[in-house]
Structure 1
């Protein structure tokens, strides 16, 4: 089935970028059988299926296993950590010094709880925030220790705040060398090296794999998917995505609870 926006008609997409939370699965739940089957059908067809997520390497691995992905590439921490799926190890890590961002954010949000990723090891954090995955070690530290080593991903959670108020205050934030994106639900943000994003990492991968831009498809539901949507030959937002995120995409899929990803992939790949 051909699609608009220049996506290759014969054979369909050859590189498919899939977000995890809110896209492949409902956070805390398993990937549905229909979605697993559709993803596997794409892999059998020889397509590069690239899980592209804000999650860390350690919290992405179980999803790769659920999907039956045993080789190829995955992009974690919003593109800052590129995994060789067969080895389960990072092949590239885009780290930055979290110190300046921690200091600037602490001044704006005195109560903020910070967490940095220790790739393949776990998390160092200044407190406990909701929804943390208990994979790997979780070490409580102060701002100084948290800021002592480069990291690919700094998360911040503002316990008493609202997302709207956080966005308002973030307009004043200036941290050279860093980029940040806020979450969909509640006062969360993620900081990475300036310019690093899902779209940035996917373009590097697309170039390395020699796949035409028109043969790329991206499916996601979050503010961290903006660059990925702009990058893709065809971009699809989930029905459960915020209104603004849906506006960035070429098309809106059914809800994550209604196998939205599977319905898109089944256009080309029959389980």
Structure 2
């Protein structure tokens, strides 16, 4: 990488990269927050002319508030709407106001039924745009944002969708990794989270494909992108970007896909990496 290289686009994962959990006074309720150091480093990147794009597995309605908390804006025109890569690249958004500008969908029914044969008690969720999620049964508290609408399974997968979440609180992430490799899940791409949580998506769709869509419209090459993330759903993004950086707490599979590793989220690792280029 050239010594005078500086990112023109910064792609940032949210959970485990920008946000960390903070416990309230006296051991009170926990909440997510953007550390001051991370907010300041993001602002320096914008002030230097870089486009900052959030890329997350979250649904769009779970990302716009984070964009506002980070005070994201177009570096050349503060009135221009932001780009957001949501649902692991399946949904591309402009904000504000929130507008879905591109969406990839697929028939999830075969994969969902194959998984439920292995994990019959697993929970299934489909995004209900702007509201929350339609779910086969309630998810553990705090795992999904917005309203949860209990819906019959067959109704959940009766039409093409952009993303499906499968969650089994009785299983482990390793259980899901093994199951996915054995099933094959033909016609579907998948990613396993930190727990027994699996996102199903259309083949070829990832944060990387979503960011390529955005970069093309901004006239920016992948070689000029810095991407930072911590999860298995960041692997394609880290490999696609000119510089891909894994957070310090990432599993080895994610670290191996990256060009470098920064500090963990609890040590403001995203700020440490951004300050290399915009400090």
Q: Which residue of 2 aligns with 1:67?
A: 70
The 5-angstrom pairing of residues 221-232 of structure 1 reads 221-232=230-241
Q: Which residue of 1 aligns with 2:172?
A: 162
Q: Which residue of 1 aligns with 2:221?
A: 212
Aligned: 1:133 with 2:144: yes
Q: Which residue of 2 aligns with 1:29?
A: 32
CA 1:133/1:170 → structure 2, altered by over 3 Å: closer, same or farther?
closer
Contact 1:104–1:174 (8 Å) recurs in 2:
no
Contact 1:59–1:133 (8 Å) recurs in 2:
no
When the two chains are superposed, the root-mean-square deviation of aligned CA atoms in Å is 1.6
Contact 1:182–1:189 (8 Å) recurs in 2:
yes
Counterpart Cα distance in 2 of 1:194 and 1:163: 21
**Distance apart, 1:254 and its partner CA:** 0.8
Question: Which digits, 9 at most, give the CA deviation of each residue in 1:209-256, with x for residues without a partner?
Answer: 221332111000010011001101011000011122112111111111
* 2:120 aligned to which of 110, 116, 139: 110
Q: Which residue of 2 aligns with 1:3?
A: none
Structure 1 outlier segments of 4+, above 6 Å: none
Structure 2: tracts of 5 or more residues without a match: 22-30, 74-80
Counterpart Cα distance in 1 of 2:231 and 2:18: 12
Aligned: 1:171 with 2:172: no
Aligned: 1:15 with 2:15: no
Counterpart Cα distance in 2 of 1:44 and 1:149: 44
Counterpart Cα distance in 2 of 1:10 and 1:72: 27
**Distance apart, 1:53 and its partner CA:** 0.4
**Distance apart, 1:159 and its partner CA:** 2.6
Counterpart Cα distance in 1 of 2:126 and 2:257: 29
Counterpart Cα distance in 1 of 2:222 and 2:202: 24
Secondary structure of the residue that 2:105 maps to in structure 1? coil
Aligned: 1:241 with 2:250: yes
TM-score by length of 2: 0.89
Counterpart Cα distance in 2 of 1:85 and 1:14: 20
**Distance apart, 1:127 and its partner CA:** 1.2
**Distance apart, 1:163 and its partner CA:** 2.0
